[in-house]
Amino acid sequence: MRTTIGYTLESIGYVIGAQGLVSFGSQTLFGTEWGWLHKVVDLPSAAYLGILVVGLALVAGGVKTRKAAERGKVA
């Protein structure tokens, strides 16, 4: 079960992080809106960096949860 939760958190983190990165990059570099996140909320560029950090934290938490489950099975 922990492995499934780890993979789920990691997958959600990749999607959220990618949307934060794409939204930040498009707004900062091109002055346009890419991705789907801008259709839900209208945020400044710095907030999109925060969303990227949240995505990275979810990925890290998912990997940690998954690795802990794998270590538990071996021992």
C-alpha Rg value of the chain to the nearest Å: 15
Residue 73 above 80 pLDDT?
no
For residue 68 the two structure tokens come to 């802990």
pTM: 0.82
Structure confidence by residue, pLDDT tens digits, 12-49: 999 999 999 999 999 999 988 888 888 888 889 899 99
Whose structure tokens read 């489950």? 69
